[in-house]
């Protein structure tokens, strides 16, 4: 069984899958044929069943416990669960893919499971690590790797089993642009070396185009909305016919949401001389950063992963005590933010976290929105009114009684922003708000944040999504190795907050 | 990755021993300690261990890293002290705890978890699914600490503190732990899917990239342990000091 490099062919005939305990089919009646060696980009709005299809192809959907199948899905004529050693699946979260403590051992894990002889295992480990450009020796601790390095190592682990069908489920969604480019290059090299068939699910289309020769767009209920060479499919997308499926042409330039008022309103948050050093770290994560957030202005901080921008956001949100320097919100200019009680902090600053699920506390969407207002002692009527307003504005009214964890990715993101807006704090801090979001949620988020800004909100957006920053931000700072540099002159704080 | 705080130094004798020989030695030492209650047997064993551990490369530096183990032993000792109320009556039980704890320390401080899983699967035919599954889960533990910090911050950002009354504190802490459990389960499910996609649930025979080998030194180590323990028990019985636990 081992050592075959022949690309695999895929057929789906009326294939469907319903997860155990769900009423609706995640995929239904899918007819699709993929030739050996084809490189297919799978597009579609969230909920169209793309990830379920990949899991099915990876042989993960079998057995009565996990759900119910319909129709036929085959890889080279056999069921995917019988063709495990022909497929390789790379997922989004680098943390949830590495098994072993040392890099080489991790790559060897797949071949071990498939019963490859020992000398051959290590030959393949060396080969796979070379293909992905892994820069360290094979005894490197996996825990010491960056997110991008982990993802390339996970790709090496997939390649070591020499799959004829490579399945990639948003492999770069959690990475900064530089790390994402390295993963894409590694995938390109791997495809060139193996000639394997590729099925890729990815929202950011443009960068992947050189590796793709066919685009399949799935709609509601896994209907194939469009299928063909990228040029033809994206010409249709440009004409707008695929907008409902969340597909935008790769050369689309997002609309810039210009501020209604000129930048530089009354300052809402002032930070000076901020520094932070993590325990055991040789150098500070942030060095002497100064920042002023005026009302009605969206301020962006960009920079690569590890440059200290998330640490800066935590300090600006009053969630991390600065090692040196100070942050105040101007409603209480004499009290450092990190020293304020949680309820007092929530009145001044709302925070949106990278992973929306971290913010969910209650069993229903509505109660998430009532939580902070109640904590702050709002009268019931006012709290209910605010919750209704936010539900309506974010298109969550029909989901008011749903459990937050059952929402789609885009709905979760909108709810997490809504919770931060629930008490209408004058400052909103967002850490990578577009992380792992599809194009439609991306646009909704841009509109929403521009709206909050135009109502007088002072926004701090920390992001490596350059397009998002270009679409929303009025001023941009760059973070490099803990140093914050402004692309615009920083306004002086008024006398009230000078300490 | 380590069982303790810092990685075991691979150049010590103890680290080169196969984990299953260390487990065997630990079992051999524990037999007389579990069935006797006199201070002579345990005292002699402690004496031998204090000489043997440095020879195997477990020095004071490694002992310092073993604080979780020392904490556990200390708690057991304190519980015994509170129950019996006397210090002199505690001598045998303290020596027994120490005599069991020191070889336990040898195992923990000198064993790489990967080597342990390899040895258990290859030498003792432990199911690979359990051994490597546990190993993968072990790797996620440090992530939990980071996750908990983020969850606490997310709560603070929404106006929720740890609670000012004990009841409020308990309620918040319970909610926090539940949220942590949810995140841990979700990540575990994703990791399990990634592992199965790489053939972890394959039914065919598995091969091993890292052979787990028993060297002559392993046999010598186990034999020496058996001989020394037998000599200690003989000494204690012949001098009339041996007290059977249930007698």
Taking a C-beta distance cutoff of 8 angstroms, is the pair B71, B101 a contact?
Answer: no
pLDDT for residue A17 is more than 60:
yes
- The pTM of this model reads 0.86
Which residues in chain B touch residue A157, judged by CB atoms under 8 angstroms apart? 198
Of A110, A112, A318, the CB nearest to B208: A112
Task: Please tell me what DSSP assigns to residue A213.
Answer: S
Q: Is B213 on the interface with A (CB under 8 A)?
A: no
pLDDT for residue B113 is more than 50:
yes
Beginning with the edge strand found earlier in the chain, give each strand of the sheet holding A324-329 in spatial order.
A286-294, A267-276, A324-329
pLDDT for residue B217 is more than 90:
yes
**Once rounded to an integer, what is the mean pLDDT over residues A110-132?**
95
pLDDT for the residue A305 = 83
Which residues in chain B touch residue A89, judged by CB atoms under 8 angstroms apart? 194, 197
Residues B2, A231: Cα–Cα separation, whole Å: 52
| Burial classification of residue A264, based on how many CB atoms lie within 10 Å of its CB (0-12 exposed, 13-18 middle, 19 or more buried) | middle
Taking a C-beta distance cutoff of 8 angstroms, is the pair B120, B24 a contact?
Answer: no
Taking a C-beta distance cutoff of 8 angstroms, is the pair A17, A50 a contact?
Answer: no
Binary contact (A114, B204; C-beta < 8 A): yes
Residue appearing with tokens 């890292």: B210
**Once rounded to an integer, what is the mean pLDDT over residues A281-289?**
90
Residue appearing with tokens 């995140």: B183
Binary contact (A423, B135; C-beta < 8 A): no
Taking a C-beta distance cutoff of 8 angstroms, is the pair A415, A181 a contact?
Answer: no
pLDDT for the residue B7 = 62
**Once rounded to an integer, what is the mean pLDDT over residues B23-51?**
92
Of A88, A91, A350, the CB nearest to B190: A91
pLDDT for the residue A263 = 57
The per-residue DSSP string of A417-475 comes to HHHHHTT--SEEEEESTTTT--HHHHHHHHHHHHHHHHTT-EEEEE-S-HHHHHHH-SE
Residues B220, A158: Cα–Cα separation, whole Å: 41
Q: What is the pLDDT of residues A401-429, one digit of tens each?
A: 999 988 888 889 999 999 999 999 999 99
pLDDT for the residue B93 = 80
Q: What is the pLDDT of residues B54-80, one digit of tens each?
A: 888 877 776 676 677 778 778 877 887
Which residues in chain B touch residue A87, judged by CB atoms under 8 angstroms apart? 197
Of B160, B195, B199, the CB nearest to A342: B160
pLDDT for the residue B66 = 67
Q: Is B77 on the interface with A (CB under 8 A)?
A: no
Q: Is B145 on the interface with A (CB under 8 A)?
A: no
pLDDT for the residue A408 = 80
Which residue of chain A comes nearest to B172, CA vs CA? A361
Question: What does pLDDT average to over chain B?
Answer: 87
Question: What does pLDDT average to over chain A?
Answer: 89
Q: Is A361 on the interface with B (CB under 8 A)?
A: yes
Task: Please tell me what DSSP assigns to residue A78.
Answer: B
pLDDT for the residue A280 = 80
Please name the residues between 15 and 74 in chain B that touch chain A, using a CB distance below 8 Å: none
Q: What is the pLDDT of residues B126-170, one digit of tens each?
A: 999 999 999 998 888 888 888 999 999 999 999 988 777 888 888
pLDDT for residue A1 is more than 50:
no
Beginning with the edge strand found earlier in the chain, give each strand of the sheet holding A483-486 in spatial order.
A349-352, A427-431, A458-462, A297-302, A475-480, A483-486
ipTM score assigned to the predicted complex: 0.86
Which residues in chain B touch residue A280, judged by CB atoms under 8 angstroms apart? none
pLDDT for the residue B140 = 85
Q: What is the pLDDT of residues A362-375, one digit of tens each?
A: 999 999 999 999 98
């Amino acid at each position: 069984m081992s050592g075959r490099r022949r690309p695999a062919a895929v057929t789906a005939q009326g294939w469907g899958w319903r997860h155990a305990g769900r009423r609706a089919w995640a995929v239904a009646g899918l007819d699709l044929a993929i030739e050996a060696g084809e490189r297919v980009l799978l597009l579609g709005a969230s909920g169209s069943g793309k990830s379920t299809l990949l899991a099915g192809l990876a042989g993960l959907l079998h057995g009565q416990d996990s759900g119910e199948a319909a129709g036929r899905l085959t890889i080279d004529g056999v069921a995917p669960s019988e063709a495990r050693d022909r497929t390789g699946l790379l997922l989004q979260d680098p943390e949830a893919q590495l098994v072993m403590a040392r890099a080489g051992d991790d790559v060897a894990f797949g071949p071990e499971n498939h019963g490859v002889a020992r000398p051959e295992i290590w030959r393949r480990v060396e080969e796979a690590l070379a293909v992905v450009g892994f820069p360290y020796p094979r005894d490197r601790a996996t825990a010491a790797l960056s997110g991008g390095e982990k993802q390339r190592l996970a790709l090496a682990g997939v390649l070591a089993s020499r799959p004829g069908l490579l399945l990639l489920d948003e492999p770069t969604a959690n990475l900064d642009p530089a790390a994402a480019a390295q993963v894409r290059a590694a995938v390109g090299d791997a495809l060139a070396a193996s000639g394997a068939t590729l099925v890729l699910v990815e929202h950011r289309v443009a960068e992947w185009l050189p590796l793709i020769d066919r685009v399949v767009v799935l709609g509601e209920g896994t209907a194939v909305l469009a299928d063909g060479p990228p040029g033809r499919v994206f010409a249709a997308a440009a004409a707008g016919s695929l907008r409902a499926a969340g597909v935008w042409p790769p050369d689309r330039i997002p609309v810039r949401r210009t501020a209604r008022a000129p930048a530089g309103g009354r300052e809402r948050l002032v930070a000076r001389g901020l520094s932070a050093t993590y325990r055991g770290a040789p150098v500070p994560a942030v060095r002497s950063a100064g920042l002023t957030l005026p009302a009605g202005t969206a301020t962006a901080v960009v920079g690569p992963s590890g440059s200290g921008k998330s640490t800066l956001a935590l300090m600006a949100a009053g969630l991390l005590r600065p090692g040196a320097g100070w942050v105040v919100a101007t409603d209480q200019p004499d009290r450092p933010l990190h020293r304020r009680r949680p309820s007092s902090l929530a009145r001044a600053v709302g925070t949106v976290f990278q992973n929306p699920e971290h913010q969910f506390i209650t069993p229903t969407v509505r109660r998430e929105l009532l939580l902070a207002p109640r904590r702050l002692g709002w009268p019931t009527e006012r709290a209910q009114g605010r919750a209704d307003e936010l539900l309506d504005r974010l298109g969550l009214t029909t989901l008011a009684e749903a459990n937050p964890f059952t929402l789609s990715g885009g709905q979760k993101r909108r709810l997490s922003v809504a919770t931060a807006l629930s008490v209408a704090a004058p400052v909103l801090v967002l850490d990578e708000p577009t992380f792992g979001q599809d194009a439609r949620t991306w646009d909704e988020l841009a509109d929403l944040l521009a709206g909050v800004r135009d109502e007088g909100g002072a926004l701090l957006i920390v992001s490596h999504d350059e397009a998002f920053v270009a679409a929303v931000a009025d001023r941009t700072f760059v973070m490099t190795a803990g140093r914050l540099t402004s692309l615009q002159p920083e306004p002086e704080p008024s006398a009230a907050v000078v300490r | 990755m380590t069982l303790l705080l810092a990685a075991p130094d691979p150049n010590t004798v103890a680290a080169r021993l196969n984990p299953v020989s260390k487990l065997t030695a630990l079992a051999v030492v524990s037999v007389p300690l579990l069935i006797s209650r006199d201070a002579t047997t345990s005292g002699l064993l402690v004496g031998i261990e204090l000489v043997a551990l440095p020879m195997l490369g477990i020095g004071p530096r490694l002992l310092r890293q073993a604080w979780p183990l020392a904490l556990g032993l200390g708690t057991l000792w304190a519980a015994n002290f509170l129950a019996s109320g006397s210090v002199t009556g505690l001598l045998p039980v303290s020596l027994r705890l120490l005599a069991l704890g020191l070889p336990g320390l040898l195992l923990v401080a000198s064993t790489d978890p990967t080597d342990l899983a390899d040895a258990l699967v290859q030498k003792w035919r432990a199911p690979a699914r359990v051994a490597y599954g546990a190993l993968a889960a072990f790797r996620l533990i440090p992530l939990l600490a980071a996750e908990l910090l983020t969850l606490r911050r997310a709560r603070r950002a929404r106006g929720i503190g740890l609670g000012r009354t004990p009841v409020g504190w308990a309620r918040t802490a319970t909610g926090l732990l539940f949220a942590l459990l949810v995140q841990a389960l979700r990540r575990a499910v994703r990791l399990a899917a990634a592992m199965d996609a790489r053939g972890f649930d394959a039914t065919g025979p598995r091969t091993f990239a890292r052979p787990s080998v028993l060297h002559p030194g392993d046999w010598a180590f186990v034999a020496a342990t058996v001989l020394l323990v037998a000599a200690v028990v003989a000494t204690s019985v012949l001098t009339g000091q041996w007290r059977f636990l249930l007698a």
